[in-house]
A and B are shown apart, each in its own frame.
Chain A
Amino acid sequence: MTDVTVSRFDSPNVVRDGLRTVDYLSDDSIAGVVFLADRLGKPILVEGPAGTGKTQLAKSVAELTGARLIRLQCYEGLDESKALYEWNYKKQLLRIQAQRVGESAGEWSDIEEDIFSEDFLLTRPLLEAIRAEEPVVLLIDEVDRVEVETEALLLEILSDYQVSIPELGTVAAKQIPLVFLTSNNTRELSEALKRRCLFLHIDYPDIEREKEIVLTKVAGITESLAEQIVRIVRSIRSLELKKAPSVSETLDWARTLLLLGIDHVDAESAKETLHVLLKYQSDIEKAAKDLSSANGPTR
């Protein structure tokens, strides 16, 4: 099965530059891990604070490689029939009834074989990714939302790229998809799952990278404003907040300032627009109070 692997990238730098062409600014660790995942044929478990571009990474890689993105959104109560496959009961029933009308034309074993064939199978995201003929990127989003028991559903597909269906046998992958699992770290994932994956932690970007992101994503922003914005955001992130501003919130804030025609952020204009950056009243109050003192974050 592994012999069909085609390396998509030549080196980490190729990944990095490629992602840049689709407007995703990566860093050494992101590019390195994506490169390795491709070479080793292993899934990537992406962890990190909300809004740092975990899901976007999978989308961008799909765009870069020209692959179809198949997404499985996880939630509490997700089960086999929603994640892997399901038998199409109604169609099976119809098939059986049609047989009756035709009056004992065939043996029961024929029907049985017939109704458990692929015609009656409803594929769900995981199976679909395995069966796809064309290259795909499989995104299993927010895997920490499913229960520990449900995680086991993923293990077979993650390590062997195959799905076992009792009635049909094993469906093996035609090609090895790139798999991304994202987690917001609301619970500890099982050892078995972690062991099968490469681990990638995406944190808030450093100041140069965030500035670059702002410059790329917000059209018409000046370099000095971008610089100021990311510095203030870094300053706010160093406070102890309930929810630190994410990259997407930085971008929202940059757009807001641009719309308001502010080209130089001072303490006043920062305070007035803080609600774009922070989502809790207590956080806003704290940041507002803190920004007006010169001595840096109160530690």
Chain B
Amino acid sequence: MADDVTALPSGFDGGMLETLAGFVTELRRAGIPVSLTENLDAMEALRHVPIEDRSAFKYALAATMVKNNAHWKAFETVFEVYFSFRGSHYRLKEDETDDGGIESMLDELTGTREGEGGSGEGLSAEELAEMLYRALMDGNDALLRALARAAVTRYAGMEPGRPVGGTYYLYRTLRQLDLEGLLERMMGEAESKVPDQQLTELEERLAREEYQARLDALRREVESEIRRRLVADRGAEAVARAVRKPLPEDIDFMHASRDELVSLRKAIAPLTRKLAVRLARKRRHGRKGPLDFRSTVRHSLSTGGVPADPQFRYPRPSKPEIMVIADISGSVAAFARFTLQMVYAISSQFSRVRSFVFIDGIDEVTDYFKSTEDIAHAIHRINTEADVIWVDGHSDYGHALETYWERWGKEISGKTTVLLLGDARNNYHASQSWVVAEMAKKARHVYWLNPEPKSYWDTGDSIVGQYAAHCDGAYECRNLKQLERFVEQLG
């Protein structure tokens, strides 16, 4: 570190700096907090890594700017967009030499098809499929990458300047490659290799997983290939905007895609653990309890009857009893699931947790959670066994609440906190909001959690306002961040 700190890393020019600036801006837009010092650290770090070593370059940026593992995926996407390989290969226009490049590369890799490279048509569809199959079977990554490229050239039908997101091209390419079919074929071959032509169940499962992983790798290759070409065509900034995805803690419960749900489920476990630790600490380190008069007098004996050393009672804040009443109809099911999971994860902070689910009928599901430690299992039982349908399986908050009041209303006491979960889209049934008013009279607190954005409340058939009027609070809980904030104040 003896030399000039302000000097640029070797191989840096104005263009690179500009790209880096754009990169950092995009990271911030994607929600990753990159401070000024971290930005400078990254620059400093880049001076030490060889610029042509792409993975070292990537890890230098990651280590200095991304300080939370949940943000890794977002970082990787932005990185791919801004620092993808660029060159003549990725031009979208038909180009003889371009095709030849891929062809000759394939030839090199496979050692077959001599002297044919670069001549017009190149690989036929069958040849491409066959080579792909072999590459997958052998786990040949380099060949796979080249083939992914060829497949994109052939099938994606990308045209310069067309404002289409990458998903459309991805879909077109993958449909032609028929991944499902490939998997079955690979399984077939794996089976024919063993002596008695019959894999045990465990072997079959392991083989399937291995091939699935390879297919996933292929899918990722195709995806990043398409992304590279889009970047070459439209510039990094435009593509970054198009592929920007919310961080796990910002994913909207109600509109989460399947992939997003998976990352939500991954994100919730560490989150609840942190929450539990935090709450337990808060309880332990709370303020002192009231003066313990008896103990103070006893201790005063050693100071001749002068109460010099006041004693305090150990604080025992009473733990609330929680009743969760959740709408589990299609639109809000994911929200109910995550809330239940979070509440049960910190159930040691409560004296008791009871849960009820409804659509238009209502059922108690506390036992499902008691009999198993596995939340996924409990949710599965709720979805299959709970008796929540009364007439037609469309949400009817009014009927569900009324039934609840009749059957379990007496069990609400002054220690109970009631959580009502749902979007209050009542399909124009009667609201029966008097039930909530009665609850509020008996219970310690009644809260309403709504996964819809606040601006949608009370539009259409949403009647959350009628219920919220009687609650101690109605909260918007669209994502993990908001949900966590609410649950924390509950404990």
Contacts and interface: CB of A to CB of B under 8 A. Distances in A.
Interface of A: 2-3, 5, 11-12, 28-29, 32-33, 35-36, 39-42, 44-45, 47-48, 76, 147, 185-188, 191, 194-195, 197-201, 203, 207, 228, 231-232, 234-235, 238, 240, 242, 265-267, 270, 280, 282, 286, 291-296, 299
B1 A186 contact: no
B44 interface: yes
B183 to A, nearest CB: 11
Interface in B36-67: 37-38, 41, 44-45, 48-50, 53, 55-56, 59-60, 62-64, 66-67
A86 to B, nearest CB: 24
Q: Considering residues A198, A199, A200, A228, which has the most beta carbons from chain B within 10 angstroms of its beta carbon? A: A199
A187 B277 contact: yes
14 contacts: A5-B1, A12-B56, A29-B62, A32-B60, A32-B63, A36-B63, A195-B35, A201-B72, A235-B205, A240-B265, A282-B372, A293-B201, A294-B204, A296-B209
A186 B273 contact: yes
B206 interface: yes
A201 B60 CA distance: 13
Contacts of B213: 207
Interface of B: 1-2, 35, 37-38, 41, 44-45, 48-50, 53, 55-56, 59-60, 62-64, 66-69, 72, 200-202, 204-206, 208-210, 212-213, 262, 265, 270, 273-274, 277-278, 281, 372-377
A265 B49 CA distance: 44
B205 A296 contact: yes
Given A185-B270, A199-B63, 16 more contacts: A3-B2, A11-B50, A28-B59, A36-B49, A36-B64, A39-B45, A40-B41, A40-B48, A188-B274, A191-B35, A199-B66, A199-B67, A201-B72, A234-B209, A270-B202, A280-B373
A207 B214 CA distance: 12
A199 B62 contact: yes
Given A187-B274, A187-B278, A296-B205, A36 B374 contact: no
Nearest to A3: B2
A186 B277 contact: yes
Contacts of A195: 35, 37-38, 67
B419 to A, nearest CB: 24
Q: Considering residues A2, A40, A42, A232, which has the most beta carbons from chain B within 10 angstroms of its beta carbon? A: A40
Nearest to A12: B56
A40 B49 CA distance: 11
Given A11-B50, A267-B200, A294-B205, A28 B55 contact: yes
Nearest to A2: B1
Nearest to B66: A199
Contacts of A41: 1
B66 to A, nearest CB: 6
Given A187-B277, A195-B38, A201-B69, A231 B63 contact: no
Contacts of B204: 294
A240 B45 contact: no
B201 A286 contact: no
Contacts of B72: 201
A44 B69 CA distance: 14
Contacts of A282: 372-374
A195 B40 CA distance: 11
Given A40-B41, A198-B64, A32 B56 contact: yes
A37 B45 CA distance: 9
Contact of B69 (A12, A47, A296): A47
Contact of B41 (A28, A33, A42): A42
B207 to A, nearest CB: 9
A191 B37 CA distance: 12
B67 A32 contact: no
Contacts of A197: 67
A197 B53 CA distance: 23
A40 B60 CA distance: 11
Nearest to A282: B373
Contacts of B374: 240, 282, 286
B37 A267 contact: no
A33 B1 contact: no
A292 B201 CA distance: 7
B70 to A, nearest CB: 10
B55 A242 contact: no
B24 to A, nearest CB: 15
A111 B66 CA distance: 52
A230 to B, nearest CB: 10
A293 B377 CA distance: 16
Nearest to A203: B69
